[in-house]
Amino acid sequence: MRFIKPGPVDGICRAPASKSEMQRAIAAAALARGRSEILSFSPCADSRAALSAVEALGASLRVLDDRVVIDGGELRPAGSIDCGESGLCLRMFAPIASLFDKEITLTARGSLVNRPVSMVEIALRKAGVQCRSRGGYPPLSVRGPLAGGTITLDGSLSSQPATGFLLALPLVRADSDLVVHDLRSSPYLRLTMAVMAAFGVAVEADFDRNRFSVPGGQAYRPRVFEAEGDWSAASFLLTVGAIAGRVTIKGLNLESPQPDKAIVQVLRNCGAGVSTAPGEVTSSQGSLRAFDFDATDSPDLIPPLSVLACFCQGRSRIQGTDRLLHKESNRAEALCDVLGSMGGRLSADGNFLEITGSKLRGATVSSHQDHRIAMAAAVAGLGSSEGVEIVQAGCVDKSYPAFFDDLEGLRKREGVS
């Protein structure tokens, strides 16, 4: 349990390394023959799940204070991969595991047990891979080898399986075309391709048709890779600045393919003070007004933006809540519960959240064992009248273990102007 006391902020913080980029780089390093180093390692649970996965595939690694050393290429996979609670890990490593002529079972824990894998299972079967799941849910067993050619994939729930296929297909002998129907969160595939290019692998993308041409017979090359700052994590801290004072977040790439950098434009549109400099963003309080935002490609922004909307005058509308059904919780319902308990005025309407600005009071709330709900509750607590007590707040370890320490470090100290 964690209590967040209300109060102003005025501070500087460095964003943690992007866990999305980190997990992709870990996979690419394992597939590269030789030694790679990944700098600015984030020790969050999802990154640790990716490390566990590549060890299970046969890569050797060492975790040092600020980096991970991975010796990859000569892979001899074990019979199972523990994906923890990481949806990306499970959906990304399933196509990679299917490169091998051996049955490999990808297991899940916690909320991941009830998150669907049917879309990757169906696509793998069409590509000649033997698959078995628990009725479309983990555990998922695969046995390759994965064949090339034309592969079709349902992208309506997540782009994560497409990331797995993009990473795996260059190692197939034949050329491949990956066609993703109803693709959501396409910017994450740009992130995937950027990581692949850094490790020497090429993909041609036609985002108008959501078609990806992948030459076969390629080889990943080892390298030293440094992950950029995580815009998903930073969005919570920048929201803190907009509602409670002033915050500068360093380590952010303003040209990043990460879709959650859209937080900068939303903050500007709603009246917050926003300034940028190379590698950093500052947000500060302003006269906040309601906003509309389509979060279909950036659903992880919905929790911080829902908090932001509570402090805006008027009614805000956030589209894309259908993307929240299969996260660590049903996040639309969880946000209505948490923020509603604090006096927020939220309603879920089809694929939208509508939020009318209101004063937030104190409350004891559940994190719903969802890291982004816990962080949203903490940000709301800073701007509330009495603070918030968060039950099971430790779930932030999934993506941002230092979140509460960083949040406390931003708090304005008495006598400091």
pLDDT tens digits, 198-241: 999 999 999 999 999 999 999 999 999 999 999 999 999 999 99
Domain 19-214 falls in which CATH fold? UDP-n-acetylglucosamine1-carboxyvinyl-transferase; Chain (3.65.10)
pTM, two decimals, is 0.93
Residue with tokens 């991941």: 112
pLDDT tens digits, 388-400: 999 999 999 999 9
Whether the pLDDT of residue 323 is over 70: the answer is no
Token duo for residue 282:
């500052």
37: helix, coil or strand? Answer: strand
Q: What percent of the chain has pLDDT over 90?
A: 89
Token duo for residue 361:
């009071």
Angle, helices 331-341 vs 302-310, to 10°: value is 30
* Contact of 340 with 346, CB cutoff 8 Å: yes
Give the mean model confidence (pLDDT) for residues 254-276.
97
Domain boundaries, the chain: 2-16+230-409, 19-214
Report phi then psi at 32, rounded to 5. -85, 135
Dihedral angle at the C-alpha atoms of 40, 46, 52, 55, nearest 10 degrees? -50
What does the pLDDT read at residue 414? 53
Q: Residues, the chain, total?
A: 417
Does residue 294 have an active-site annotation? no
Which residue of the set 71, 82, 297, 300 is catalytic?
300
- 126: number of Cβ within 10 Å: 14
Token duo for residue 290:
């309601």
pLDDT tens digits, 154-185: 998 889 999 999 999 999 999 999 999 999 88
Q: Do domains 2-16+230-409 and 19-214 have the same CATH topology?
A: yes
Task: Select the CATH number that applies to the domain covering 2-16+230-409 from these four: 3.90.1150.10, 3.40.462.40, 3.65.10.10, 3.30.565.10.
Answer: 3.65.10.10
Average pLDDT of the residues of the chain: 94
Distance CA 352, CA 242 (A): 23
Distance CA 356, CA 369 (A): 26
What does the pLDDT read at residue 122? 96
Give the mean model confidence (pLDDT) for residues 10-32.
96
pLDDT confidence bin for 416, thresholds 50/70/90: very low
Give the mean model confidence (pLDDT) for residues 131-138.
96
